């Protein structure tokens, strides 16, 4: 399979992803039974995972979507991170952040830092993919679909220069081409 200048091969099939998503939803349904849960889906990459996961969530819950953004502040502080789209009150809620992939862990650390000041009761992270060999962060995901090696992957929401998000399987870059 080719996307722009790179070639990719199937890495995790559609069926394996769907089985894993069901499995993750089951665990969340039992761990959070009876709690007041707000899912926070981090766009863009997690849109497909979020849709499939949420179809199998049976606990009473709400969902909202955010985007990480960075702008150059007016002071000497340099870049300032912000979460766009967060308009729910987090106070006393159980939060589950939905991510597509956690690689170095820098993004999830920033998100956790921004959310932890909002007074949530607990914050857990659910990521479909996790690259343990490149992870240097503070917050390891609580729910992991697949731990994968450090190869670049696309599909099922993940992109290569904005291409490939629509694919229903996950593909790995073919280093030999
Ligand atoms: P972080 O290194 O954990 O902060 O991940 C930053 C972001 O890099 C993720 O949210 C993804 O958007 C992107 N990313 C990391 N690894 C991959 C990959 O293999 N394919 C596509 N995007 C990736």
Q: What is the mean pLDDT of residues 77-99?
A: 87
Q: Counting atoms of ligand 1 from 1, which one is nearest the CA of 100?
A: 10
* Confidence category of residue 78, pLDDT binned at 50, 70, 90: low
Q: Residue 17 phi/psi, 5° resolution?
A: -65, -45
Q: What share of the chain in percent tops pLDDT 90?
A: 81
Domain ranges of the chain: 14-149
5 catalytic, yes or no?
A: no
**Best CATH choice for the domain 14-149 from the list 3.40.50.720, 3.40.1160.10, 1.10.10.10, 3.40.50.2020:** 3.40.50.2020
* Confidence category of residue 176, pLDDT binned at 50, 70, 90: low
In a mutational test of the pocket of ligand 1, which residue from 6, 66, 103 has the highest number of ligand atoms less than 8 Å from its CB?
103
CA of 101 to the centre of ligand 1 (A): 6
Q: What tokens were used for 23?
A: 């499995």
Q: Counting atoms of ligand 1 from 1, which one is nearest the CA of 137?
A: 3
109-114: long-range pairs with CB below 8 Å, 24+: 109/137, 109/138, 109/139, 110/68, 110/81, 111/42, 111/66, 111/68, 111/83, 112/138, 112/139, 113/81, 114/81, 114/82, 114/83
pTM: 0.94
Q: What is the mean pLDDT of residues 38-44?
A: 96
* Nearest Cα residue to 94 out of 39, 17, 142, 43: 39
Strand runs (DSSP E) across 33-158, as ranges? 37-43, 61-72, 79-84, 94-102, 122-130, 143-147, 153-154
* Confidence category of residue 118, pLDDT binned at 50, 70, 90: confident
Assess whether the C-beta atom of 141 lies below 6 angstroms from ligand 1. no
Q: At what angle do helices 47-55 and 14-31 cross, to 10 degrees?
A: 60
**DSSP for residue 34:** T
**CA terminus-to-terminus distance, the chain:** 11
């Amino acid at each position: 399979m080719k996307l722009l200048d790179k070639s990719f091969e199937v890495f995790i099939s559609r069926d394996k992803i769907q089985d894993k998503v069901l499995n993750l939803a089951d665990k969340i349904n039992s761990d959070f039974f009876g709690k007041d849960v707000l899912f926070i889906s981090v766009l863009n990459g997690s849109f497909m995972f979020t849709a499939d996961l949420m179809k199998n969530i049976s606990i009473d819950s709400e969902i909202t979507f955010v985007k990480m953004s960075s702008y150059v502040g007016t002071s000497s502080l340099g870049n300032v991170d912000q979460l766009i789209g967060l308009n729910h009150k987090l106070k006393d809620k159980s939060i589950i952040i939905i991510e597509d992939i956690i690689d170095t862990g820098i993004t999830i650390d920033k998100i956790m830092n921004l959310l932890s000041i909002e007074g949530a009761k607990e914050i857990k992270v659910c990521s479909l993919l996790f690259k343990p060999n490149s992870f240097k962060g503070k917050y390891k995901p609580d729910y992991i679909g697949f731990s994968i090696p450090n190869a670049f992957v696309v599909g099922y929401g993940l992109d290569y220069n904005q291409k490939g998000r629509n694919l229903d399987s996950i593909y790995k870059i073919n280093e030999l081409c």
